[in-house]
Structure formats: structure tokens, C-alpha cells
Amino acid sequence: MNINSSDSFSSSLDSNTFREVPKTGVIYVTSEATKCGFSDHDETWANLGQGAPEVGPLKNEKEEKSFTIGSSGDEYAPIAGLLELRQAIANLYNELFRKNKKSKYSAENVAIAGGGRIGLTRVVTTLGNINIGHMIPDYTAYEELLSIFKEISPIPLLLDEKEEYKISASKLESYIRKLGLSAILVSNPCNPTGQTVRGKELEKLVGVAKEEKCTLILDEFYSHYIYSTDISEKINIVSAARYVEDVNKDPAIILDGLTKNWRRPGWRISWTLAPKDIIERIASAGSFLDGGASHPLQISALPLLNPKEVRARAENLQKEFRKKRNYMLKRLRAMNIQVPHPSQGSFYFWAKLDRLPKPLRDGMSLFKAGLEEKVITVPGEFFDVNPGKRRKSAAYKNYARISFGPKMETLKIGLNALERIINKKR
């Protein structure tokens, strides 16, 4: 069964004219749950499949002050983004990660886009006829993104559970040489495993990419959700920007935005940091792909980028989400849902189901059973990134991604529902 297939074409449409466009994991599960009565405003449901964090002020966090956007926001913004916002982002990365570096980011190293997927699409559009490596498991949206651009050849790189779903510098070097990779796309922290490469490990990866002339495309959208410590780093935020030597020569492209780390998913504001000649190409891609990000929201984003406040908010975020992480981990283990490698970053657990009663050992079966109890999870097979469906059998059928992004009250409702489901099948 192709769980990504769309509804059949209307008789008035030619199926040779249009292709089926698959749904990502989150969209699929919420669409199916909606058919069963789910809505975002129904508090009897628990969406433990959501890919967004809870919004609004956390404990010990003040509400943002309101501000007025002048009439200048009515005009188109530059395709690459407002110059003031681009410079503010460059300043933020220089302050947090590059104080002792001679080479600094400038506005010319930054492009603004209307959300993470638009930013990634711009980057992939600029790639030539190359082999690009991608990790398995990883973010579900990468599958279609790597399918639609026919010039690139996506090559899967399987992450091993025994190696904590991380890739070492030596293995990366081997993959680059043996598979002829010119670029690698990876989320760090990883969605869905929550595993994080940081410190010396990340420094070595950036170094290998530079030495092998292989562009490292890093999706850092969860880089503030860090639950492990590294005494070698003064700030508990992860970014490859710390290990880039020359911002205009090193082959590192970094993507982040307001969606996750700033907990403003509805704003759809993201940014890309890269050598300035790459930024020029990314902006050119934006001129025909999307036309640029919202002008008013770019103006609104400027006050959110003060380095001191960003650091303080990240620390508070980690404190509050760590409570939810620890609570969920304890509850999952009590239900005999395995988490071999608890989340080090992001707000997901990559849950192994093979110790549950037999009917629930399949991620899709658990999801469908959950609909009866008003709880949503995401089947693990969605994270088997498989561009063009070249591989015939899906991996990770006995996994699920379970999110602690929602509020604590929602987590309690959802985990109680999972407990009822499991008890019914025993």
C-alpha cells in the first residue's frame, strides 16, 4: 500500500497531465485524524505527531511587546530579504559563534525566505548535476524535495542505531570518496531521532567537508533544543557556524528560522547562511520560485534577534522542554515503548515498538489505533527518505515519532491515551 498516494484524479482531469504529490508524514496523519473529528481547537485530542512547538510565552518568559509596521511594509521586500534583517542575522551568528574568528558573516552571506522548506528548495534549486547524500532516517519533506529536481542524484546514507544514528567524520569521508558525493543534506539536531552532532564531532564533519570539497547543507531548525551539555562550548546552542573558518570559501550552508527555535511557526521566516556567491544564486532562485518573504514579518523579526535575549530565551526553552522530555521518556518506558537513544535535541522521541503487543508493533497500526483514542503519532516509515521510491520496501515500520512539542497538559492526555491502547491489546 502506498500510504503517500493522493486521492484518485477526477474524471475531468487527465492522469497523464498531473502527477500524484505525496503528503509528508505530519500532513498525512493530521489529514486522517481530521476525518475522525480531530481539530486543533478540540482539547480532547492530543497531537503527539505535531512538528511544531507550543507557542506563546513559556514560564519565566515575558510577552513580546506589540509594535507598528509602517507603510513601507506594503511594498515588495528584496528577494534576498531586508538588508537590516540580513545584517542582524549575520551579527547574531558572529556574536554567538564567531567572536574569535577573523572571518565574519555579513549581510551578503544571508538570504531570507518564506519558511524552511522554501529556503531548502532555493538551495537545492541551485545545485548542478551532482550526487547528493542524505541520511536515513531524516526529515520527511526531504523525500519530495530530492525527487523533483532531476539534475541531482540523491544517494541514501543509512544511519546505524548502534552508532546512535550519528555519522562519524571518518564514515562521512568514506561516503564522499566512494559515492562521489558533491553535497550532503542533514538535519542537526535530527528530525526524527533527536540525535545531535556537536563539539569536536561537528568540527571534524565541517573539516572533512572542506577538505573533500563537499558542500554540507545543514538544517539547524532545532539547534536551540539541546538537552546534553558540552563544557567546551560557552552557549548551549549548536551550529556549524562555530567551525567554519572562512565564511566565503568553506562549503557550509546553514538553514534556520523562527519556526522552531523562536517558536513562531506561523511567521514563515527562515534564513540561509552561505558564501556570498552562493547567496547570490539562492536569491536568483527565489526570484522565480517564491518572490521573497513577507515584508511586514521581516520588519517584525528584527527585535527578536538581539544576541543576549536569544541566549536567554534558548536557556529558558531548554529548561521547560527538558521537563516535558523527561516526563514523556519516563511514561514511554513504563509502557514498554523503547527509546534506545533518548533525544539530545529537537522535541521528538524515535520510539521502537517491537516490545508492544503484536497488533501495535507497526507504526501505522499504532497510529490507526490511536485515532480511536484521539491521539496522533507519526509512523516511522515516513522518515525512510526514499526519493523517487527507488527502494521498494520501507524501513522503520516498527518505529514511531512521538512529539513532546505540545503543552504538558496535551502530553498527559496523549500518553494516557497510548496507555489505554496498549492495555486493551494485552
C-alpha cell at 31: 489529514
Q: Is the pLDDT of residue 312 over 80?
A: yes
Q: Is the pLDDT of residue 5 over 50?
A: no
Please check whether residue 345 is in contact with residue 411, taking contact to mean a CB–CB distance below 8 angstroms.
Answer: no
Q: Which helix (H) or strand (E) holds 422?
A: helix 408-425
Q: What is the mean pLDDT of residues 32-51?
A: 95
Q: Is the pLDDT of residue 386 over 80?
A: yes
Q: What is the pLDDT of residues 321-380, one digit of tens each?
A: 999 999 999 999 999 999 999 999 999 999 999 999 999 999 999 999 999 999 999 999
Please name every residue paired with 273 in a beta bridge, in sequence order, or none if there are none: 110, 254
Task: Work out the pLDDT band at 385, boundaries 50, 70, 90.
Answer: very high
| Radius of gyration in angstroms for the set of CA atoms belonging to the chain, rounded to a whole number | 21
Q: Is the pLDDT of residue 71 over 90?
A: no
pTM: 0.93
Single-letter residue type at 300: S
Q: Give pLDDT, residue 150.
A: 86
Looking at beta carbons, which pairs linking 179-182 to residues 24 or more positions away fall under 8 Å? 179/131, 179/133, 179/155, 180/131, 181/130, 181/131, 181/132, 181/133, 181/155, 181/214, 182/127, 182/128, 182/130, 182/131, 182/132, 182/213, 182/214, 182/215
Q: Give pLDDT, residue 228.
A: 80
The per-residue DSSP string of 318-349 comes to HHHHHHHHHHHHHHHHHTT-B-SS--SBTTEE
Q: What is the pLDDT of residues 76-131, one digit of tens each?
A: 999 999 999 999 999 999 999 999 999 999 999 999 999 999 999 999 999 999 99
Q: What is the pLDDT of residues 122-156, one digit of tens each?
A: 999 999 999 999 999 999 999 999 999 889 999 99
Q: Distances in Å between the alpha carbon of 70 and those of 49, 67, 83, 297, 303?
A: 38, 10, 17, 12, 15
Q: What is the spatial distance between Cα 215 and Cα 58, in angstroms, rounded to a whole number?
A: 37
Specify the 3-state DSSP secondary structure of 183. Answer: strand
Give percent of the chain with pLDDT exceeding 90: 84
Residue 350, phi then psi, degrees to nearest 5: -95, 95
Q: In angstroms, how far is CA 26 from the centroid of its own chain?
A: 12
Q: Give pLDDT, residue 177.
A: 98
Please name every residue paired with 389 in a beta bridge, in sequence order, or none if there are none: none
Single-letter residue type at 121: T
Q: Is the pLDDT of residue 286 over 60?
A: yes
Task: Work out the pLDDT band at 6, boundaries 50, 70, 90.
Answer: very low
- Strands 348-352, 252-257: pairing kind: unpaired
- Average pLDDT, rounded, for the chain: 93
> What secondary structure letter does DSSP report for 44?
T
Q: What is the spatial distance between Cα 292 and Cα 296, in angstroms, rounded to a whole number?
A: 12
Query: Which of 21-25, 47-51, 384-388 ranks highest by mean pLDDT?
Result: 47-51
Q: Give pLDDT, residue 70.
A: 62
Q: What is the pLDDT of residues 202-260, one digit of tens each?
A: 999 999 999 999 999 999 999 999 998 766 667 799 999 999 999 999 999 999 999 99
**Domains of the chain as residue ranges with CATH:** 25-58+317-425 (3.90.1150.10), 71-309 (3.40.640.10)
Q: What is the mean pLDDT of residues 298-326?
A: 96
